[in-house]
Structure 1
């Protein structure tokens, strides 16, 4: 199978985003980083993926500026992977995907995790695009316009 063509020149931001974080492993690495994971071994234990695939995905996320490597917070010789500002800005993407999964991929009463606001102890409210007037924006009320 020939290697897939990168979408660096694609004019669609969704295509470029999916190209970077859209594979199963990359987005789950980002999810785990939001959950506080920082070390290679922790990612591997959590995800159960092959070391070479994990190393490749971590390298790509570092090269893209989503993660950065730092010395271990405990002073050991380990390196840790930490979300950058660019990586932190993926939080709404992860939350939206999580909430979509909670709504559509679990049977009534089926056990699953829930994202909680630490300040209030309450579930994070459902995310939705908001129009200029503050109302929820439906997909039918939005359009893509090409710029330039």
Structure 2
């Protein structure tokens, strides 16, 4: 599988990584959630080259994660704002931050606390079932081949799915 072909794979994770799967893009998204909106602010905070930053922002706009919104008419100046599609990545970002807080923080602990506005408490993200509301961990999920699966690319069904489907040959 080639990096530039990820968006064509029969896998939602591969397709998602084609949009947000490199470190600069994730850091741009982090800064978006922290309120950064303007190119120069991203450049200053991230220390990334203008070319790389422009490329990542362009891709996020193309995929509808960010929108360019004018904040000044003469001369025209635009800033980058999270779209609804972009805001839906918040839970993903929180999950990555939470993992980092648990496994990568030093003895001082987490560098940023996330406070739930509803109760005022420091929170950590928890994945719950959309149907019953129960917390869900990796061992609580059964996977099945869905209608969107395509085998035309030659990608093999993962062994766990093949066993469940009774298709041991794949």
Q: TM-score, normalised by structure 2?
A: 0.76
1:21 is the counterpart of 2:3 = no
Runs of 5+ in structure 2 lacking a partner? 148-170
**Aligned residue pairs: how many?**
146
Structure 1 stretch displaced more, 48-57 or 134-143: 134-143
Structure 2 Cα separation of the partners of residues 74 and 114 of structure 1: 37
Match of 1:82 in 2: 81
The 8 Å contact of residues 131 and 137 in structure 1, kept in 2 or not, is answered as no
Q: TM-score, normalised by structure 1?
A: 0.86
Structure 2 Cα separation of the partners of residues 92 and 75 of structure 1: 37
Match of 1:49 in 2: 48
For residue 124 of structure 1, give the secondary structure of its aligned residue in structure 2: coil
- Aligned-residue CA RMSD in angstroms? 2.3
For residue 79 of structure 2, give the secondary structure of its aligned residue in structure 1: strand
The 8 Å contact of residues 20 and 26 in structure 2, kept in 1 or not, is answered as yes
Q: Kindly provide the CA deviation profile for residues 14-43 of structure 1, in whole angstroms up to 9, marking residues without a partner as x.
A: 111112101001111111111111100001
Runs of 5+ in structure 1 lacking a partner? none
Structure 1 stretch displaced more, 48-57 or 26-35: 26-35
Q: How is 1:31-42 mapped onto 2 (pairs within 5 angstroms)?
A: 31-42=30-41
For residue 81 of structure 2, give the secondary structure of its aligned residue in structure 1: strand
The 8 Å contact of residues 114 and 124 in structure 2, kept in 1 or not, is answered as no
Q: How far 1:62 moved relative to its partner?
A: 0.4
Q: How far 1:82 moved relative to its partner?
A: 0.7
For residue 123 of structure 1, give the secondary structure of its aligned residue in structure 2: coil
Match of 1:130 in 2: 129
